Chain A
Amino acid sequence: MFSDERDRPEQRPAGPTARDVAFWQGNTALAHGALLAGCNFFGGYPITPSTEIAEVMAEELPKIGGKFIQMEDEIGGIAAVIGASIAGAKALTATSGPGFSLKQENLGLAYIAEIPIVVVDVMRGGPSTGVPTKTAQQDVMQARWGTHGDHGTICYAPSSVQECYDLAIKAFDMAERFRQPVLILSDEVVGHMREKVTKKDPNKLKIVNRVRPSVPPDKFTPYEADPVTKVPAMAAFGDGYSWHVTGLTTNDWGFPTNNPSEIEKKMLRLVNKIDKGRKEIVEYEMEYMDGANVIVVAYGSVGRSALRAVRDARTRGIPAGFFRPVTLWPFPGEELARMALGAKIILVPELNCGQMVLEVERVIRGRSEVRGMSLVNGELFKPSAIRRMIEEVA
């Protein structure tokens, strides 16, 4: 599940000391992960079950000279965060359901203008106000397609408090690396439960920062992409470069364009930079996949119930396997398809009426049966419910 060496928790011969570990809520861990990643700006608006992230940031940011602002709504929250990032900040906003809907238009501006930001959605149930205090995974497709227009999406779903911390760091790294918004789709269970977190040593952590222009201001072409990474270098307002940011589709100079080939070039680059960088982005976790006949694909909090169910099924002699996409978008479809070759059936339990199951069907292409399991009562799957289903279909 760890993409490279530096993401591994420290191995210390004497074992962790009290200063290396914390007992945190998922939301608190996420905020601390963001701070460690270099986050120095937060803009947002209170909403359950995400508010603790804002509260931690309000307290911690000024201590390090960072800025926190409670805006007049979520639209303003993401706008301020984009503005701060354009001025050079590493900026975070966090919200839930209704607030995530409000952020969609400006999220699109960050995609097209290629502004790195991190947006957290701690999922709760239902359209509209729904069930603010209960968990759900109903925003999975909104995360992928919520704003209008095409773009690549980077989205992570933590399933433990440790992962809230680790993925906050990864999210900032990926936002800076690919110059685009990165989403963290947490949920009420993960956001509010408390677990032990092993902290990372800031001195040993390598964080990623956006590539700055290396040319003098008069030679700077704001959207000229690096030929290899497909990502342009980014100046910050106030750094000595004067450049134009707009939500209009532009050419490499950042000028609005109606030229078909310039429009196409920009659109394709937005999508291709993510396709090309897929390996750096995608993370997943697997257990018991050897000879698995029934594979359970689950993410976020449901990943915990699913892993337990698979383990229990194995002790009962059923060849069950567990696959957890840590990255929801881009979906680790190639990896799943490869591992699932020969499996009889794939179960996809989710806290919605069947969203990620569509993606699983798409990548499995009928080679195995794919069956969704829905739970939309605000509760988390009990491992026994998933185990019983495994037994039934095995």
Chain B
Amino acid sequence: MPSTEVLGWLRTRFMPHIWCPGCGHGVIMHALIRALVELNKDKTQTVIASGIGCSSRMAGYINACTLHSTHGRSLAFATGVKLHKPELTVVDVMGDGDCSAIGGNHFIHACRRNIDITAVIMNNNIYGMTGGQASPTTPAGAWASTTPYGAIDPSFDLCKLAEGAGASYVARTTIANPKQAETFIMNGIRKKGFSVIEVVTHCHTQFGRKNDRRLPIDNYRYFKEVSVPLTKSKTMTPEELAGKVVCGEFVDKDVPEYTEQYAKVIESARKKG
């Protein structure tokens, strides 16, 4: 049962939610709210942005300043919010398709700018909302409604993508470890810079149905089986790591943050002008 503090962050007026019973997105929402409670955040100073997808509906259910934008574009909207009011805490919740297909360009540029936004990616390896089409994280060989003969394209490693593009905090876990999700989200929000937390989750309705993980519980078992802590993964061979989900904090560095850099621009423009 969620605590009263957690319940205070829910817009029960928006309920019932649209998620299938057992969908992993709820677990992630709970972890996010626990992190916000733990960090003592103020609902009127916290922005939750999102794009379009089952995952993105989360914004509506959280009692904060919420911005449910267009498919893939939420980070660009969030960038405008944050740059105008850097004092706000900005979290962007998105699906794997939202983040890395249609929103891929905004994603890498938000990483590059290192703007102080925390991106929580709910990676269920599929387009849930539109009925189970392949996404850029659908594993090669997996079945989706648009890959009736099996997916042939290789998938993205979202954490490597974020690291390569310059994010200052990058971590991954699964919904089978909600406490770790909460900790990573908290660390991400604390970080002054762009943070990416990939939470591997499931869409039993669309992905599980076609790929032998029909029930939510099948997915939890599966995630427990394939999760490997980052430290242990370092001792494993690439063959041993195939099909595994490496969990941990991959990047945690202090680099100049965008809105702080812009404050310096203002300073020098004022001196000059």
Contacts and interface: CB of A to CB of B under 8 A. Distances in A.
Interface of A: 40-41, 43, 59-60, 62-63, 65, 67, 69, 71-73, 75-77, 79-89, 91, 105-106, 109, 217, 237-248, 253, 255-256
Q: Name, among B66, B73, B80, B105, the residue most crowded by chain A CB atoms within 10 Å (CB to CB).
A: B80
B60 A244 contact: yes
Interface residues of B, number: 43
Contacts of A109: 69-70
Contact of B65 (A41, A65, A237): A237
Nearest to A246: B68
13 contacts: A63-B269, A65-B270, A69-B79, A72-B76, A72-B105, A82-B77, A83-B78, A85-B80, A106-B69, A237-B88, A240-B44, A244-B14, A244-B59
A238 B76 contact: no
Contacts of A241: 44, 65
B69 A87 contact: no
B87 A76 contact: no
A65 B65 CA distance: 24
B47 interface: yes
Contacts of A246: 59-60, 67-68
Interface string B210-253: 00000000000000000000000000000000000000000000
B88 A80 contact: no
A84 B90 CA distance: 13
B265 interface: yes
A49 to B, nearest CB: 24
B60 A80 contact: no
B85 A80 contact: no
Contacts, number: 147
B266 interface: yes
A248 B44 contact: no
B191 interface: no
Contact of B13 (A72, A79, A255): A255
Contact of B270 (A43, A62, A67, A253): A62
A99 to B, nearest CB: 14
B66 A79 contact: no
B105 A73 contact: yes
B80 A87 contact: yes
Nearest to B46: A242
B55 to A, nearest CB: 15
Nearest to A81: B80
B23 interface: no
B44 A88 contact: no
B76 A76 contact: yes
A89 B106 contact: no
A43 B79 CA distance: 10
Nearest to A67: B83
Contacts of A245: 66-69
Nearest to B266: A62
Contacts of A79: 69-70, 73, 76-77, 79-80, 106
B226 to A, nearest CB: 34
B76 A71 contact: yes
A238 B87 contact: yes
Given A238-B87, A244-B66, A246-B60, A87 B266 contact: no
A237 B80 contact: no
B81 interface: yes
B85 A238 contact: yes
Top 10 closest pairs, chain A to chain B, by CB? A83-B80, A80-B80, A79-B76, A62-B269, A76-B76, A63-B273, A83-B77, A246-B68, A84-B80, A237-B65
Contact of A82 (B68, B80, B85, B265): B80
A72 B80 contact: no
B83 A84 contact: yes
A246 B59 CA distance: 9
Contacts of B265: 62
Nearest to B18: A256
B45 interface: yes
A91 B49 CA distance: 19
Interface in B36-53: 43-45, 47, 49, 52
A237 B49 CA distance: 12
A253 B11 CA distance: 12
A110 to B, nearest CB: 10
Given A62-B265, A67-B262, A75-B73, A83 B67 contact: yes
Nearest to B108: A72
Contacts of B49: 83
A62 B82 CA distance: 16
B109 A244 contact: no
A246 B81 CA distance: 15
B7 interface: no
Contacts of A63: 269-270, 272-273
Contacts of B63: 242
Nearest to B57: A256
B273 A247 contact: no
A248 B85 contact: no
B146 to A, nearest CB: 22
A41 B84 contact: yes
Given A62-B269, A86-B67, A72 B106 contact: yes
A217 B85 CA distance: 20
Given A73-B105, A237-B47, A242 B65 contact: yes
